[in-house]
């Protein structure tokens, strides 16, 4: 089949580089245009990611893919939308909304930014979790008189929580959730966390993070009715912290369910979801969407971050919670730079392509 022509906006940044890697030799999508700030525009990609001293600032694992090295970085205004089928937006600045609005007038946009997450006609999508909300994209196009749409991923901290709550909510109901995150330093971006600040330390507050998790989790787990999302009726309390781990977010979760639950039932539920997950077989999907451990020392970031190439969500330390009449507590691990970012966005594109939205 002919590959869909895609552009990456914000291609020189940390998330943009993850897109470069995630789309290398992709069977369905081909990167044909790339864009970044005016500082990088007009340069070959390899030159654009060099600093003033000539050091190549490649921040993701592995080698820089050959296909991107000699591509010329364009400014946003220089992108030829007539020669594109899809845009991946990795814009990390306040300019994201204006850029994504401009692109969506003509093309589908899949975004890792928060610019459109809280708009009423915009679903926050996690492929395999709330696929049915993709129908809201048609409402969005009509409302805004666009040829395309904007489909954002959630905050990377929300991703693991929503993924692990979905099966429990569907089968047992979920009334209250308490979560404490232990988030990797890479989640703060290139300049988000200083070495002096995080070494031998835990930072107990991440600005705006907790509000994002509460809003996004309820929206993702809600139901699409009459062209609008009705948020899930779950009370959520969370504490978001930064810890000296390079990649991967770990979260401690307490859930009060409507129906009686125990670890054995939870394990069976996650195993059943693994068998029926909607994204099975897509190019970026892991063999197992969920990994369930009975070993009480799991999950651990160094052990879990390579599972499913960072696309598997790991669950462990699953126990009855005595604070609630029906309660469960568990630990989860979710890779913030893979499933929670660019590769998750590529998986979303695959799901939307399969549904005929791209």
pLDDT tens digit sequence for 270-322: 999 999 999 999 999 999 999 999 999 999 999 999 999 999 999 999 999 99
60, 79, 57, 63: which is closest to 19 by C-alpha? 60
Over residues 141-166, mean pLDDT = 97
Neighbouring C-beta atoms of residue 341, cutoff 10 Å: 24
Q: Would the pTM count as exceeding 0.85?
A: yes
pLDDT of 193 reads: 84
DSSP helix/strand/coil, 261:
coil
pLDDT of 54 reads: 86
Beta bridge partners of 251: 181, 332
Does residue 1 have a pLDDT over 80? Answer: no
Q: 209-220 vs 156-172: helix axis angle to the nearest 10? A: 40
- Residues 27, 30, 35: CA angle, nearest 5 degrees: 150
Cα 353 to Cα 85, 110, 285: the distances in Å are: 11, 12, 14
pLDDT of 162 reads: 98
Q: 263-276 vs 156-172: helix axis angle to the nearest 10? A: 110
Catalytic residue among 156, 238, 240, 335: 156
pLDDT of 194 reads: 87
Q: 342-354 vs 14-22: helix axis angle to the nearest 10? A: 50
**Banded model confidence at residue 352, pLDDT cuts 50, 70, 90:** very high
Does residue 106 have a pLDDT over 80? Answer: yes
Over residues 241-245, mean pLDDT = 97
Ranges 85-89, 131-135, 193-197, 259-263: which has the least confidence: 193-197
Does residue 192 have a pLDDT over 80? Answer: no
Catalytic residue among 238, 240, 249, 335: 249
pLDDT of 250 reads: 98
112, 105, 73, 122: which is closest to 89 by C-alpha? 112
Residue 329: both structure tokens together: 């507590």
15, 16, 50: which is closest to 35 by C-alpha? 16
Buried b (16+ CB within 10 A) or exposed e, 302-312: eebbebbbbbb
- Per-residue model confidence as pLDDT tens digits over 22-60: 999 999 999 999 999 888 999 999 999 998 888 888 988
DSSP helix/strand/coil, 138:
helix
pLDDT of 260 reads: 96
Does residue 190 have a pLDDT over 80? Answer: no
User: What class, spelled out in words, does domain 4-153+341-355 have in CATH?
Assistant: alpha beta
| Fold designation for 157-334 | Dihydrodipicolinate Reductase; domain 2 (3.30.360)
Distance between CA atoms of residues 106 and 331, nearest Å:
42
**Banded model confidence at residue 77, pLDDT cuts 50, 70, 90:** very high
pLDDT of 53 reads: 86
Report phi then psi at 178, rounded to 5.
-120, 130
Distance between CA atoms of residues 301 and 248, nearest Å:
6
For the chain, domain boundaries? 4-153+341-355, 157-334
Q: Is 249 a catalytic residue?
A: yes
76, 92, 5, 94: which is closest to 35 by C-alpha? 76
Does residue 235 have a pLDDT over 90? Answer: yes
Q: Is 26 a catalytic residue?
A: no
């Amino acid at each position: 089949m002919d590959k869909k022509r895609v552009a990456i906006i914000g291609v020189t940044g940390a998330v943009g580089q993850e897109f470069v890697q995630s789309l290398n030799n992709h069977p369905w999508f081909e990167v044909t245009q790339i864009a970044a700030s005016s500082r990088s525009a007009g340069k070959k990609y390899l030159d654009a990611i060099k600093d003033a001293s000539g050091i190549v600032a490649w921040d993701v694992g592995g080698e820089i893919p050959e296909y991107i090295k000699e591509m010329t970085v364009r400014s946003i205004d220089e992108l030829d939308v007539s020669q594109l089928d899809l845009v991946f937006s990795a814009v990390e600045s306040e300019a994201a909304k204006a850029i994504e609005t401009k692109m969506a007038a003509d093309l589908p946009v899949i975004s890792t930014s928060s610019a459109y997450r809280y708009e009423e006609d915009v679903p926050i999508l996690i492929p395999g979790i709330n696929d049915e909300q993709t129908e809201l994209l048609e409402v969005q196009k009509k409302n805004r008189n666009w040829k395309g749409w904007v489909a954002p991923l959630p905050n990377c901290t929300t991703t693991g929580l929503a993924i692990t709550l979905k099966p429990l909510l569907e089968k047992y109901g979920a009334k209250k959730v308490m979560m404490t995150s232990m988030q990797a330093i890479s989640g703060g971006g290139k300049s988000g966390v200083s070495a002096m600040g995080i070494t031998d330390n835990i930072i107990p507050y991440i600005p705006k993070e907790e509000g994002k998790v509460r809003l996004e989790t309820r929206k993702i787990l809600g139901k699409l009715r009459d062209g609008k999302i009705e948020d899930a009726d779950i009370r959520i309390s969370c504490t978001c912290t930064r810890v000296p781990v390079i990649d991967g977010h770990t979260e401690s979760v307490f859930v009060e369910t409507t129906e009686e639950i125990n670890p054995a039932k939870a394990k069976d539920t996650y195993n059943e979801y693994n068998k029926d997950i909607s994204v099975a077989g897509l190019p970026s999907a892991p063999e197992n969407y969920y990994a369930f451990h009975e070993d009480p020392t799991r999950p651990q970031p160094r052990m879990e971050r390579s599972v499913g190439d960072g696309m598997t969500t790991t669950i462990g330390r699953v126990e009855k919670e005595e604070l609630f009449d029906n309660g469960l507590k568990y630990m989860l691990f979710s890779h913030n730079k893979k499933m929670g970012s660019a590769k998750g966005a590529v998986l979303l594109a695959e799901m939307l392509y399969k549904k005929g939205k791209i």
